[in-house]
Amino acid sequence: MGRRRVELCAEGWYYLFVLAFIVGGATLRSINLLYLLAGIMIGPLLWNWRVVVLSMRQLQVQRRLPAAIVAGRPIRVEIEGINHRRRLGSWMVVVQDSVQSGASGPRSSRAAPPAKATVILPYLASGASGRTAYEAVLPLRGWYEFGPLHVSTRFPLGLVRGSCRIPRVERVVVWPRIGQLSPRWLSAVSRERAGRQPMAYRHGPIDGDYYGLREWRPGDSLRWIHWRTTAKLGRLTVRQFEQLQNQDLTLILDLWQPEPADEADQQRVERAVSFAATVVDDVTRRGASRLTFGLAARGHGCWTAKAASGFSKELMDRLAVAEAADDDGLAAVLRETLPELAPGSRAIVVSTRSSQVERIGGGTAFTRRHRHLRALSRVLWLAVDDPVTDAIFQLDAP
Amino acid sequence: MSIERIVQIHIAVLTVVGAVLLGFGRGSPELPLLVAFAAVTSLIFTDLLGWFRLNHFVANLAALLALFFSLQEFLAGDSRSQLLAVANLLVYLQLVLFYQAKSHRLYWQLAVLSLLEVVVAAALRVGIEFGLVLIAYAATAISTMAYFFVYREIERVAGNGAGEEQRGALPAQQSRPRIRLLASPARLGQTLVGWGLAFQTAAVGVATLVFSLVLFFSTPRAEIAGRQAMYSRSVRLVGFSSEVRLREMSRILQSDEPVMRVSYRDMQTLESYRVLGDPYFRGAVFTEYVSYGGDSAWRQRRMEPSGSRPRASMVLNRFPNRPPRHRSVVRQDVTLEPNDSATLFAIFPVFGIEQTPDDVMFDPFAGRLFTAAHDPVARGVSVRYQVATTGLLGGLQLDITPHENRIQASSEERESLRQELEELVRFDAGRFPELKAVADAIVGPQQAAGARRAVMARSLRDHFLAPERYTYTLDFTQIRRTPGGDPIEDFVFLNRAGHCEYFASALVLMLRSQGIPARLVTGFHGCEFNALGDYYQVLQNHAHAWAEVYLEPDEMARELPPGSYVSPGGGWLRLDPTPGASRDRVRQVEKGLLGVVDDVLDYARLVWADYVLGLSAQRQRENIYNPVAEKAAIESWADFARRLATDREFVLQQLRRFAASPYGLATAAGIALLAAAVGWRIRKPSPARSPVLHAVRRLTSRLGISPADAQGPTRPVAAAFYARLESLLARAGLNRAASETPLEFAGRAIAQLREEWPGGPSPEVEVMSVVEAYYRVRFGRQSLAEGERERLEGSLRRVREAIAALATFRQQHAAGEPSPAGSGRGEGEIEQQVIS
């Protein structure tokens, strides 16, 4: 906790004014009953001050944020108060939290004033904790700052306020907005595989998650036999697994933006980022696929891993802070990504601009390498302002 | 009930109690009744139903009218009336505010107006009832402030009223984070309103009471006497006035209002002096009987404009004589309630002593004690004075008092006495023929036999005391005096009914008809002893009139006990002709419980008057500062500690004294309460094992006033839910073993229920949901989600229903009845059991 302050509220000043009037009357006119009345008024004021001072002592307040925050989706921010005192509970502890976009980020509109969230911890018994929560919707991706926390109480009469500022600021990264992929997305990806031999990759000895037991059928691997059950039942019984479909995907995000950029350009960038984030999220949820992700933006790169939650988190963090650029890093990303393209699969480029395949293919880096050119022909270009893309991907307005 | 409704009720009660306090100051109940009516009707029709609300224009107009109306009252009256006009204005404004739509500002205004009403009331003279109601007012005000604060805080945070912080979260600002509170204001209010807040309010109240008393008594006052009130009502002394008029045509009402309190101390020992019997407190002396306009009246002796004017120093004299040393001298400490007369009362003869205030003077010409400080403008101030008397001997009041003109040092004074005695035998025989005839018949033979004056006077007095000859009455509605005749002549001859003034007047006139100097004296006779305060209280209905006969010094010596002091100026023999059995002055002597209560109340009034209203710098020094300083003196404490360490008998004595004192009792009570509280906290059994306590807790929990509920969606709430689940299962005979975890217990309980009644309603899902929530919140450091509390309530309700159904099933099963439909156990199975 920061430094505690105790001060009179506005109501306390009014109260003091009336009290001064009564004391003045009592002194000037020597009316004892007015002294008594003044005493009756001073008592609550001092009590309020004392309770406020004690209530703020050994009081700890902290914020709990969810592990993942997605732009546009409500999050529950928990405020926990812990009363470390052995005696005396704290009542009506008001906690004010600030939520503000981070100082650095991909957008220029970061200077907006912070939003304030005020919650009440009704009662914190001595030695106990209590929680309350508020809901926040962070509309844009990027860095956000929570804090500082202002803790105050005016209990029980609202005349004196004890307050404290907890200066610690929590920086969180907000992932891009997640949209919806229509069934056409799957069909578009699948169509690219049509006529080709399906690739059955085995990721380890087991083909998926354990589901149950069933009788042995011809063609079942011997490794699947559950010997204990077989012995128990007297017939061959095998373990059954969730069958996984090969969904290996190469996704390249092209965040090109002219300089200077207008609002439409920025919206295209955000839509492209959200599209990519939605694809990453979708692939991760389906699981057991290999994902290759290339980012052509300010600070481009390429990453490949099994589509699991850890990789997804890494990519989401990158997408959250990805910034568009007017330089052409796409060719380099394609050069790095396409050679790793699995046989029979295609790369999907989500871009803020129209197809640049021909231009890149005509470049020196590709004309001299036939293998690269062949791979370039397997690129599916999805420009975010293309009606085809609209049919695949829908994103709610922030 | 919503928190706003509670605030509205509090404000209504606060304003009514404030108006009651104002009513005490005004001495009239109209305003409190008016405010109470407005408070109740506005609460119902304006706040609750919303049927009637003044708009701003009409409200402002009404306020202006109230201002003009009060201004007229203010300009027309004196200072007290001006203060009352201000009080009226405050009430009028309150009435206007009551019927408007309430806002925070309006609540504040109502509360402040109420406080100002109390301030005005405090400036008026008020009794101890004001103090008692003031405590109630303070408690109401503190409670109002507490609930109003909670209401404002919730409104502020929720943003319904002045939630400026939340305004930044409007959806229009798309780029800014949007904030929404999850707890509703109503739920927050319900969470907070409970025993905890009530306890806090009570604690503030008690602390305030203690603090205000300490502050009140310790705050140094100015050197001038504590003023009891700025503007107050004075009490008219019923039965006492500067002129006694004898033309009563109605019923005289008695009053129990206190007139004065007197305590007696022996001047030598300063010990309390107990007076036996009913003392006579002399007030005014009347010497001249006049008739005018069909009325007759007694008047006090006035200075004649002729050459017989006495010396100025004799008229207004500052006690020329000191009390004689060889006599028993008793000090009278008198506190006279505010009244409309300058006359002071005391047992005569009176002497000035060191403690006698400078403004208390004696008028030997009129035989009257009075205060020179009596000021009609400064009415309402109690008069406290101390004088000495030699009129008490062995606790009894002597019948004879020395003449006021005791020394007769000069010829002027002797001449004055001669003139006075001449006045005291003036008698118009033509106006009182029957009265004189009666007196002649009684005294004539004695006079012829040369009887002493005192003997003849007592014979005349006995004439009135003879049984069934005269009737004492205060009701004159049935008495028709002779038109144009003298009321005393009528009283003696025709209508022998009257009150003390008639009896005393008739006796004085009879004495005068026989040439015996006599005069009428009014004052008070009788009093009530207050053992609590060790004082005598004189009430309005102790007002009395009697006669005094002048005795020469030699006759006075014969009447007094041997060895008594005999004044050279002679003395006055007191004769009371009023039949004692029916006198109005004597109240019930034996005090029952009510009498004791009366004593307590009267003593409280005395304390209120002396130590609250009349607390002055001098009284502070005498009763607070000096005793505290003595107690705190280092030598004194050192000596006390040394004796405690060395003298065992002293220790025991101190312990006994402390135990017998109120401090000891209060300490014992405090220790007992503390021990009970600590014991309760230590022993605090688990809800499942203490059915009574659990029932109370469950009831308070349902009413929303349980401390556990006051903690909102936190761990204790979940614990309370689980405790309720255990309690429900305990009804079915399922108790958790000490070694069982809640989850194990839940599994065993479900299994047992299934086994016992396979087809019965199975609360498995409900039980597990409560246990799961308990684990999650208790051990997982998580909160209950929004609406989960209601779901848990529903689960518990279904568990309760299942347990109740099981109990019915068991009863039927025990009675051999077929099980309800759906029971897994077949009828044949039951029959088999019955047969076997």
Residue bearing the bigger pLDDT, A175 or B77: A175
**Mean pLDDT lowest among A86-100, B113-127, B406-420:** B406-420
Chain A contact set for B714 (CB, 8 A): 128-131
For chain A, what is the HEC assignment?
A: CCCEEEEECHHHHHHHHHHHHHHHHHHHHCEHHHHHHHHHHHHHHHHHHHHHHHHHCCEEEEEECCCCEECCCEEEEEEEEEECCCCCCEEEEEEEEEEEECCCCCCCCCCCCCEEEEEEEEEECCCCEEEEEEEEECCCCEEEEECCEEEEECCCCCCEEEEEEECCCEEEEEECCCCEECHHHHHHHHHCCCCCCCCCCCCCCCCCCEEEEEECCCCCCHHHECHHHHHHHCCCEEEEECCCCCCCEEEEEECECCCCCCHHHHHHHHHHHHHHHHHHHHHHHHCCCEEEEEEECCCCEEEEEECCHHHHHHHHHHHHHCCCECCCCHHHHHHHHHHHCCCCCCEEEEECCCCCHHHHHCCHHHHCCHHHHHHHCCEEEEECCCHHHHHHEECCCC
Residues 6 or more apart in contact with residue A192 via CB below 8 angstroms: A345, A346, A378, A380
For the segment A286-301, the average pLDDT, to the nearest whole number, is 82
User: pLDDT category, B511, cuts 50, 70, 90?
Assistant: very high
- Is the pLDDT reported for residue B614 higher than 60? yes
User: pLDDT category, A77, cuts 50, 70, 90?
Assistant: very high
Inter-residue contact A257 to A272 (CB < 8 Å) = no
For residue A1, what pLDDT is reported?
64
Chain A contact set for B211 (CB, 8 A): 39, 42-43, 46-47
Shortest CB distance from B208 goes to which of A40, A125, A154? A40
- Is the pLDDT reported for residue A310 higher than 60? yes
Query: Mutual orientation of helices B30-41 and B79-98 as an angle, nearest 10°?
Result: 10
Does the beta-carbon distance from B177 to A137 stay under 8 Å?
yes
- Is the pLDDT reported for residue A152 higher than 60? yes
Q: What is the DSSP string of B214-225?
A: HHHHHSPPPSSP
Q: Report the residue of B178, B779, B781 to disrupt the A interface, i.e. the one with the largest count of A CBs within 10 Å.
A: B178
**Mean pLDDT lowest among A196-210, A296-310, B191-205, B384-398:** A196-210
For residue A61, what pLDDT is reported?
94
Chain B contact set for A14 (CB, 8 A): 108
Helices (H), B567-661: 593-607, 617-620, 626-632, 634-646, 648-660
Percent of chain A with pLDDT over 70: 86
Q: Is A9 on the interface with B (CB under 8 A)?
A: no
For residue B235, what pLDDT is reported?
52
For residue B696, what pLDDT is reported?
62
Tell me what the pLDDT averaged over chain A comes to.
Answer: 83
For residue B789, what pLDDT is reported?
81
Does the beta-carbon distance from B154 to A34 stay under 8 Å?
no
For residue B227, what pLDDT is reported?
46
- Is the pLDDT reported for residue B709 higher than 60? no
With 0-12 / 13-18 / 19 or more C-beta atoms within 10 angstroms meaning exposed / middle / buried, residue A268 is buried
- Is the pLDDT reported for residue A6 higher than 90? yes
CA dist A37 and B141 (Å) reads 12
| B447 phi, psi to nearest 5 deg | -65, -40
For residue B163, what pLDDT is reported?
37
For residue B37, what pLDDT is reported?
95
For residue B229, what pLDDT is reported?
46
Q: Is A129 on the interface with B (CB under 8 A)?
A: yes
CA dist B401 and B349 (Å) reads 6
With 0-12 / 13-18 / 19 or more C-beta atoms within 10 angstroms meaning exposed / middle / buried, residue A136 is buried
CB–CB contacts below 8 A, A to B: 226
How far is CA B428 from its chain centroid?
52
- Is the pLDDT reported for residue B8 higher than 90? yes
**Minimum CA–CA partner of B108 in chain A:** A11
For residue B191, what pLDDT is reported?
73
Chain B contact set for A266 (CB, 8 A): none
CA dist B821 and B759 (Å) reads 9
Shortest CB distance from A133 goes to which of B163, B182, B211? B182
For residue B828, what pLDDT is reported?
33
Does the beta-carbon distance from A135 to B180 stay under 8 Å?
yes
What distance in Å separates residue A246's CA from the closest CA in chain B? 38
Q: Is A120 on the interface with B (CB under 8 A)?
A: yes
Chain A contact set for B108 (CB, 8 A): 14
For residue B633, what pLDDT is reported?
64
Q: Is A53 on the interface with B (CB under 8 A)?
A: no
For the segment A231-256, the average pLDDT, to the nearest whole number, is 78
CA dist B382 and B359 (Å) reads 13
For the segment B310-330, the average pLDDT, to the nearest whole number, is 61
Q: Is A146 on the interface with B (CB under 8 A)?
A: no
For residue A190, what pLDDT is reported?
60
CA dist B622 and B407 (Å) reads 38
pLDDT digits (tens, 9 = 90+) for A35-56: 889 999 999 999 999 999 999 9
Inter-residue contact B300 to B366 (CB < 8 Å) = yes
Does the beta-carbon distance from A33 to B153 stay under 8 Å?
no
- Is the pLDDT reported for residue B22 higher than 70? yes
CA dist B394 and B275 (Å) reads 8
Residue labelled with tokens 């100025």: B312
Shortest CB distance from A156 goes to which of B108, B156, B200? B200
Q: What residues 75-94 of chain A have any CB closer than 8 A to a CB of chain B?
A: 76, 78, 89, 91-92, 94
User: pLDDT category, B565, cuts 50, 70, 90?
Assistant: confident
CA dist B94 and B106 (Å) reads 10
Tokens of B801: 């229903």
Q: Is A158 on the interface with B (CB under 8 A)?
A: yes
Q: Which amino acid is at B281?
A: F
What distance in Å separates residue A68's CA from the closest CA in chain B? 16
- Is the pLDDT reported for residue A210 higher than 70? no
Q: What is the DSSP string of B689-736?
A: G-HHHHHHHHHHHHTT--TTGGG-SSHHHHHHHHHHHHHHHHHTT---
Shortest CB distance from A78 goes to which of B204, B712, B783? B783
User: pLDDT category, A149, cuts 50, 70, 90?
Assistant: very high
**Mean pLDDT lowest among A97-111, B604-618, B749-763:** A97-111
CA dihedral B306, B307, B312, B316 (to 10 degrees): -40
Chain B contact set for A122 (CB, 8 A): 188, 191-192, 710-712
**Mean pLDDT lowest among A136-140, B25-29, B66-70, B661-665:** B661-665
On the CB side of B822, how many CA atoms lie within 13 Å of its CA?
Answer: 7
Q: Is A222 on the interface with B (CB under 8 A)?
A: no
For residue A304, what pLDDT is reported?
86
For residue B204, what pLDDT is reported?
85
DSSP classification of residue B48: I
For residue B161, what pLDDT is reported?
36
For the segment B158-175, the average pLDDT, to the nearest whole number, is 46
User: pLDDT category, B648, cuts 50, 70, 90?
Assistant: confident
* Closest among B360, B371, B346, B375 to B521, alpha carbons compared: B346
- Is the pLDDT reported for residue B309 higher than 60? no
Inter-residue contact A145 to A102 (CB < 8 Å) = yes
For residue B681, what pLDDT is reported?
60
For the segment B50-67, the average pLDDT, to the nearest whole number, is 90
Task: Report the greatest alpha carbon distance in chain A.
Answer: 111
Q: Report the residue of B79, B108, B119, B193 to disrupt the A interface, i.e. the one with the largest count of A CBs within 10 Å.
A: B119
For the segment B219-233, the average pLDDT, to the nearest whole number, is 56
For the segment B351-364, the average pLDDT, to the nearest whole number, is 84
Does the beta-carbon distance from B712 to A122 stay under 8 Å?
yes
Q: What is the sign of the dihedral through the CA atoms of B471, B477, B482 and B488?
A: positive
**DSSP bridge pairs for B506:** none
Residue labelled with tokens 């076997």: B836
- Is the pLDDT reported for residue A291 higher than 90? no
**Mean pLDDT lowest among A164-168, B232-236, B463-467:** B232-236
Tell me what the pLDDT averaged over chain B comes to.
Answer: 78
With 0-12 / 13-18 / 19 or more C-beta atoms within 10 angstroms meaning exposed / middle / buried, residue B24 is buried
Shortest CB distance from B229 goes to which of A31, A89, A116? A31
pTM (2 d.p.): 0.63
CA dist B731 and B638 (Å) reads 65
Residue labelled with tokens 């006796």: B507
* Closest among B279, B571, B260 to B386, alpha carbons compared: B260
* Closest among B438, B487, B480, B485 to B461, alpha carbons compared: B438
Does the beta-carbon distance from A36 to B212 stay under 8 Å?
yes
**Mean pLDDT lowest among A111-120, A209-218, B719-728:** A209-218
**Per mean pLDDT, which of A201-215, B109-123, B305-319 is the most reliable?**
B109-123
Q: Is A169 on the interface with B (CB under 8 A)?
A: no
DSSP classification of residue B530: E
Residues 6 or more apart in contact with residue A120 via CB below 8 angstroms: A92, A93, A94, A95, A132, B153, B154, B157, B183, B188
End-to-end, the C-alpha distance of chain B in Å comes to: 59
- Is the pLDDT reported for residue B663 higher than 90? no
**DSSP bridge pairs for B281:** B524
Chain A contact set for B207 (CB, 8 A): 43, 47
For residue A8, what pLDDT is reported?
95
Element (H, E) at B118: helix B104-123
pLDDT digits (tens, 9 = 90+) for B470-504: 888 887 777 777 777 788 888 888 888 888 888 99
Does the beta-carbon distance from A43 to B716 stay under 8 Å?
no
In terms of phi and psi (left: phi > 0; alpha: psi -120 to 50; beta: otherwise), the region of A88 is left
User: pLDDT category, B444, cuts 50, 70, 90?
Assistant: confident
Q: What is the sign of the dihedral through the CA atoms of A68, A74, A76 and A79?
A: positive
For residue B306, what pLDDT is reported?
45
Residues 6 or more apart in contact with residue B281 via CB below 8 angstroms: B260, B262, B345, B346, B347, B523, B524, B525, B538
For residue B73, what pLDDT is reported?
81
Q: Is A133 on the interface with B (CB under 8 A)?
A: yes
Angle at B5 between CA B87 and CA B157, to 5 degrees: 105
For the segment B305-334, the average pLDDT, to the nearest whole number, is 62
